Amino acid sequence: MLKSLYIENMAIIEKMSIDYNYGFNIFTGETGAGKSIIIGSINFILGNKLSKDIIRYGFERAVVICIFDNVSNKVYDILDRYGLNLNDSEIIIQREINKDGKSHAKICGKPITLSMLKDIGRYLINIHGQHDTYKLFSKDTQLKLLDEFSDTNQLLEDLNVQYKKYSELSYKLKSTMIDEGEIEKKLDILNYQLNEIESSNFIIGEYENLLEQKETMKHSIEIGHRTSMIKLFFDGDDNTIGILEQLEKNILNLEYIARYNSKLSDNKEKLENILFDLKDIFSDVLDFTDIADYEFNDINEIENRLSDLSRIKKKYGPDDIDIEKYILNIKKEIEELNTNDSVVREINEKMENIYDIMLSVCDKIHEKRYKKSKILEKMILNELEYLDMKNIDFKIKFNKKSISKFGYDDIEILIATNKGEELKPITNIASGGEMSRIMLAIKSVLSENEDNPCLIFDEVDTGVSGESAEKIGLKLRSISLKNQVICVTHLAQVAALGTSHFKIKKYVKKDQTFTEVSLLEKEERVLEIARIIGGSDTTNLTLKMAEEMLNSNINL
Q: Please return the burial class of 530, using the count of CB atoms within 10 Å of its CB with bins 0-12, 13-18 and 19+.
A: buried
Nearest Cα to Cα of residue 92 among 105, 78, 74: 105
CA distance 2 to 19: 9
Longest Cα separation, the chain: 144
Strand order in the sheet with 13-19: 13-19, 2-10, 61-69, 90-98, 103-107, 110-112
**What is 348-378 written as a DSSP string?**
HHHHHHHHHHHHHHHHHHHHHHHHHHHHHHH
Distance separating alpha carbons of residues 86 and 102, to the nearest angstrom = 26
For residues 323 and 202, the answer to whether their CB atoms sit within 8 Å is yes
First to last CA, the chain: 22
Helix, strand, or coil (residue 86): coil
Q: Do β-strands 13-19 and 2-10 pair in parallel, antiparallel, or remain unpaired?
A: antiparallel
**Cis peptide before 453, with omega less than 30 degrees from 0?**
no
Question: In terms of C-beta density within 10 A (0-12 exposed, 13-18 middle, 19 or more buried), how is residue 463 classed?
Answer: middle
**Other beta carbons less than 10 A from residue 477's beta carbon:** 20
pLDDT by residue for the chain (556 residues), tens only, comes to 899 999 999 998 999 999 999 999 999 988 878 888 898 899 999 988 888 889 998 899 999 999 998 888 888 888 888 888 777 788 999 999 999 889 999 998 889 999 899 888 888 888 887 666 667 778 888 898 899 889 898 999 999 999 999 999 998 887 776 655 576 777 788 888 888 877 778 777 777 778 777 777 766 666 666 777 787 778 777 777 888 888 888 888 888 887 877 777 777 788 888 888 888 888 877 766 655 555 545 677 777 887 777 788 888 877 878 888 888 888 887 877 776 677 778 888 999 999 999 999 999 999 999 999 999 999 999 988 888 888 888 999 999 999 999 999 999 999 888 887 888 888 776 566 777 788 888 888 887 766 667 888 887 777 777 788 888 888 899 888 888 999 999 899 999 999 999 999 988 888 888 899 999 999 999 999 999 888 777 888 989 998 988 888 766 6
Do 324 and 204 form a contact (C-beta atoms < 8 A)? yes
Residue type, 205: G
Closest CA to 39 of 101, 132, 110, 128: 128
Q: What is the DSSP letter of 394?
A: E
In three-state secondary structure terms, 249 is helix
DSSP state of 506: E
Whole-angstrom distance, CA of residue 180 vs CA of residue 190 = 15
SS3 sequence of 259-316: CCCHHHHHHHHHHHHHHHHHHHHHHHHHHHHHHCCCCHHHHHHHHHHHHHHHHHHHHH
Q: Which residues pair with 504 in a beta bridge?
A: 517
Q: Which amino acid is at 299?
A: I
Give the span between the Cα atoms of 189 and 25, in whole angstroms: 76
Q: How far apart are CA 195 and CA 430, in angstroms?
A: 74
